[in-house]
Amino acid sequence: MYPLRRNRRLRTNTAIRDMVRETSLHPEHLMAPLFIVEGKQVKEEIASMPGYYRYSLDLLEGEIRSLYQLGIRSVLLFVKVPDNLKDNKGTEALNPDGLMQRAVKTVKNIQPEMHVLTDVALDPYSSYGHDGIVENGLILNDPTVEVLAQMAVSHAKAGADMVAPSDMMDGRILAMRSALEQEGFTDTGIMSYSAKYASAFYGPFRDALDSAPGFGDKKTYQMDPANRIEAIKETIMDIEEGADIVMVKPGLCYLDIVREIKDAVDVPVAVYQVSGEYAMLKAAAEKGWLDHDAVMMEQTMAIRRAGGDIIATYFAKDIAKILQNT
Ligand code: PBG
Q: What are the tens digits of pLDDT across the range 61-87?
A: 999 999 999 999 999 999 999 999 999
Mean pLDDT of the chain: 97
pTM of the predicted protein model = 0.97
Centroid of ligand 1 to alpha carbon of 31 (angstroms): 15
Cα distances (Å, whole numbers) of residue 207 to 93, 99, 163, 166: 20, 18, 23, 17
Encode pLDDT of 273-310 as tens digits: 999 999 999 999 999 999 999 999 999 999 999 999 99
Active site residues: 196, 249
Provide the total of helices (H) and of strands (E) in the chain, helices listed first.
11, 12
pLDDT value of residue 142: 98
Q: Are 119 and 166 in contact (CB under 8 A)?
A: yes
Q: Could you write out the three-class secondary structure of 82-94?
A: CHHHCECCCHHHH
| Residue having the nearest C-alpha atom to atom 8 of ligand 1 | 202
Tens digit of each residue's pLDDT (9 = 90 or more) over 7-55: 999 999 999 999 999 999 999 999 999 999 999 999 999 999 999 999 9
Helix axis angle for 275-286 and 292-306, nearest 10°, is 150
State the Cα angle at 276 between 123 and 75, rounded to 5°: 65
Per-residue pLDDT band at 203 (split at 50, 70, 90): very high
Query: Cα 1 to the chain's mean position, in Å?
Result: 46
**Region 224-237: what's the mean pLDDT?**
98
Q: Percent of the chain scored above 90 by pLDDT?
A: 99
**210-238: average pLDDT:** 97
The topology (CATH level 3) of 25-324 is: TIM Barrel (3.20.20)
Q: What's residue 326's pLDDT?
A: 83
How far is the C-alpha of 325 from the C-alpha of 184, rounded, in Å?
43
| Model confidence pLDDT, tens digit, residues 131-141 | 999 999 999 99
Distance CA 318, CA 326 (A): 13
Q: From CA 319, how far away is CA 326, in angstroms rounded? A: 11
Residue to substitute in 202, 209, 211 for testing ligand 1 pocket (most ligand atoms within 8 angstroms of CB): 202
Amino acid at residue number 322: I
Confidence at residue 100, expressed as pLDDT on a 0 to 100 scale: 98
CA of 200 to the centre of ligand 1 (A): 10
Q: How many angstroms separate the alpha carbon of residue 212 from the centre of ligand 1? A: 9
**Ligand 1: residue whose CA is nearest its atom 6:** 166
Confidence of residue 267 (pLDDT cuts 50, 70, 90): very high
Section 181-208 average pLDDT: 97
DSSP class of residue 135 equals: E
Rg of the chain over Cα atoms, rounded to whole angstroms, equals: 20
Spacing, Cα 78 to ligand 1 middle (Å): 10
The residues lining ligand 1, judged by C-beta closer than 6 Å to any ligand atom, are: 119, 121, 123, 131, 166-167, 202, 205-206, 218, 274-275
In this prediction, residues 165-180 reach a mean pLDDT of 98
Domain boundaries, the chain: 25-324
Q: What pLDDT was estimated at residue 190?
A: 98
Ligand 1 atom 2: residue of nearest CA: 166
CA nearest ligand 1 atom 10, residue: 202
